Structure formats: C-alpha cells, structure tokens
Amino acid sequence: MVAEPDPEEFKIHPQKAQELGYTYNQEPPPPEVCQFCGRLLYHYGAVMPGQRHVFTWFDEAERCDCAGAHEYWRQQDEAQKAAKEAEARRKEQERIAQRMRKLLDDSGMGGRFQTRTFERFVVDDENRRAFRAAKRYADSFSLMLPARDEAGRVRPPKKERNGLFISGTKGTGKTHLAAAIANQLIQGGTPVICMTMIDLLSKIKATFDRGGGASEADILRIYKDVPLLIIDDMGTEQPTDWGLSKIYTIINARYEAYMPTIVTTNYSGEELIRRMTPPNDDGYTAAKTIDRLQEMCGGIEMSWKSWRLR
C-alpha cells in the first residue's frame, strides 16, 4: 500500500521559508487578520519536498483555529457541501431526463402512442380482464426477463410465457394497452421498442438500402436485445419473403434468448398464418413464426365493438 503524502510537506509558512532561505519569484501576499480573534493569518507557499523553492503562494490565507473561525468555516464548508450535493442531484436528474428522452426517441413511440397510458384507458366490463392482464404484466415486468447464472448462461425467466399475444377485432384498445405497457416501462427506465410490423420492416429496409451489411445486422441486434419488443398490427399487411424472414429471425432470436415480446393483431391461428404468408409461399416460415409466438406468449383476447365507433 502506498502511503498518502503528508500535505504539510507540500506547503510552508512564509516566515519559515524566509528563515530557511527558500527562493521565490513573488513576495508572499501580506497576512490577513482573523475577524474573530485578530490573529495574523498567513498565505502559505506551495513547495515540493527536497526543493528549497516556493512555486506559488496560496490565494487563501490559512484558516484560524479560534472558536469563532472554527464555527465560521464549519458553516462555510457545510454550505459548500450542500451546494455540491444539490448540483450533483441536478446533474443526476438531468441525466435521467435525458436518458428518458433518448429511450422515448429510440422506442418508435410516435406522439400518438405516448398519450396511450393506463390512466387514460377507460375500464368497463368488457375490457376489465384485458386491462388487468396488461397492467399486471407491466407491474411485474422484472419477472418476464431472463436471468443469468454465475457462469453467465441465460436462464429462463420466472414467468415462462413472458410475452403477450393481444388479438381481437378492430378498435378495441389492443394498441392502447400495448403502448400503456411501453410507457410505464420507459418511465421506469426500461428500453422498449414499439412499432407496427410494417414500420419495423421499413426501418430494417432503410439501413439495408443505405448499403453496408453491418448496419442491418446492427438494427437486427437491437430488436433482438431490447428488453421488450412490441410488434403492433401483425398480419394487417402481407409481408414479402424478405420481410417474413426478418420477422422470423427476430422472433426466433428472442425465443431462444427467452426475451419477452408483445404482439397485437386482428387475427389468430390459421388465419394469422395465412395473412403472414408471403405471395407464392408454402406458409412454412409463417407457421413456424406464429408457433414460436404462441409458445412465448400468454393470450389476451379483445373482441367487442370498436372504441372508434363510440
């Protein structure tokens, strides 16, 4: 262990410096007078051990140790400490706010999604079950994430079906509840991506069109690694071969890593497989994709009169 240097070795009283014949470039500032006891307070000089030279004189005079000065410095130090702590808190809050802004920017949650919260969801007899299931999901999200053992291997999450498959007729609040989960988690600092399947694919396509295979791999990795991925409106538009293969890649990667995924869709079962099958395709990949999802997700059914028609 290296001993802490003694700070006394690095400073010297101006009278002692004079007595010992230290050299210096500037005269020491005149001493000040303690406002409490009247003692002279000197500006010490900065020195290096073994060198008889004063580099500079300290701007602040030495502190007096009389009772009055003692109390004065105690208050000064306390005030300075409080100011430092307030500044650190302000910085921390700014950092959190910035992280939240970034999480929201990255989430794909456009302005409309951001207003869809649990608070704004009107609960009635038809949608109560769905609401509670979604709220419970958001509240216990930590149970949905896989764990790692001491060797760093991924272990299944506490909740085996750690995703949600929200299906039902149009306008019943499926997207609203999925977005409410996203908003709550983002508020808690958890990164979430929430996008329609088509937007998700065009985002991959955009990096693809810009060229450079690395960027497509990068964005796919983000979709695989984000703690919660929400794919809104699955099956509304028929994917191409390419699109379906990307969706399968993402869902399969999340399946293998036990990562939670939420899907909203107007379809289920065979019909969803049909809607997800690209033109002139045997439907095998679509079936595999939906199969995986069904294994990963608990179901929420939301079929009633559209809220948009109220």
Ligand X SMILES: Nc1ncnc2c1ncn2[C@@H]1O[C@H](COP(=O)(O)OP(=O)(O)OP(=O)(O)O)[C@@H](O)[C@H]1O
Question: Least separation, in Å, of the C-beta of 129 and ligand X?
Answer: 12
> What is each CA distance from 75 to 148, 257, 269, in whole angstroms?
49, 56, 72
Residue closer to ligand X (CB basis): 196 or 285: 196
47-76 residues in contact with Zn ion (CB under 5 A) are 64, 66, 69
- Cα 160 to Cα 92: distance, rounded to the nearest angstrom: 36
Question: Least separation, in Å, of the C-beta of 124 and ligand X?
Answer: 7
253 is a site residue for Zn ion (CB under 5 A): no
x-or-dash pattern for ligand X, window 281-310, by CB under 6 A? Answer: --------------------------xx--
Residue closer to Zn ion (CB basis): 66 or 287: 66
x-or-dash pattern for Zn ion, window 226-245, by CB under 5 A? Answer: --------------------
- Cα 298 to Cα 197: distance, rounded to the nearest angstrom: 19
Which of Zn ion, Mg ion, ligand X, none interacts with 266 (beta carbon under 5 to 8 A by kind)?
ligand X
- Enumerate the β-bridge partners of residue 24: 54
Question: Least separation, in Å, of the C-beta of 189 and ligand X?
Answer: 24
- Number of residues counted as binding ligand X (CB under 6 A): 17
246-285 residues in contact with ligand X (CB under 6 A) are 264, 266
Residues constituting the chain: 310
Residue tagged 């329609």 (tokens): 196
Determine which residue in the list 31, 157, 171, 227 makes contact with ligand X, applying CB under 6 A: 171
Question: Least separation, in Å, of the C-beta of 177 and ligand X?
Answer: 7
User: In the 8-state DSSP scheme, what is residue 307?
Assistant: G
Scanning 96-104, 175-183, 223-231, 234-242 for contacts with Mg ion by CB under 5 A, the matching segment is: 175-183
Closest to 195 in 3D by CA, of 222, 166, 233, 226: 233
Spatial neighbors of 209 by CB under 8 A, at least 6 apart, are: none
What percent helix, strand, coil does the chain show, rounded to 5? Answer: 50, 15, 35
- Cα 54 to Cα 14: distance, rounded to the nearest angstrom: 9
Question: Least separation, in Å, of the C-beta of 175 and ligand X?
Answer: 3
Residue closer to ligand X (CB basis): 125 or 149: 125
Q: How many other CB atoms sit within 10 Å of the CB of residue 294?
A: 17
- Number of residues counted as binding Zn ion (CB under 5 A): 7
- The letter for the amino acid at 146 is P
- Cα 288 to Cα 8: distance, rounded to the nearest angstrom: 75
Question: Least separation, in Å, of the C-beta of 264 and Mg ion?
Answer: 5
Which of Zn ion, Mg ion, ligand X, none interacts with 191 (beta carbon under 5 to 8 A by kind)?
none
Scanning 121-129, 203-211, 249-257, 268-276 for contacts with ligand X by CB under 6 A, the matching segment is: 121-129
The backbone region for 169, taken as left when phi is positive above 0, alpha when psi lies in -120 to 50, beta otherwise, is beta
37 is a site residue for Zn ion (CB under 5 A): yes
Spatial neighbors of 165 by CB under 8 A, at least 6 apart, are: 262, 263, 265, 268, 293, 294, 297, 298, 299, 300
Determine which residue in the list 127, 167, 172, 175 makes contact with Mg ion, applying CB under 5 A: 175
Instruction: Please give the residue ranges that form the binding site for Mg ion (CB under 5 A).
Output: 175
Binding site for ligand X (CB under 6 A): 116, 120-122, 127, 170-176, 233, 264, 266, 307-308
List of residues contacting Zn ion (CB under 5 A): 34, 36-37, 39, 64, 66, 69
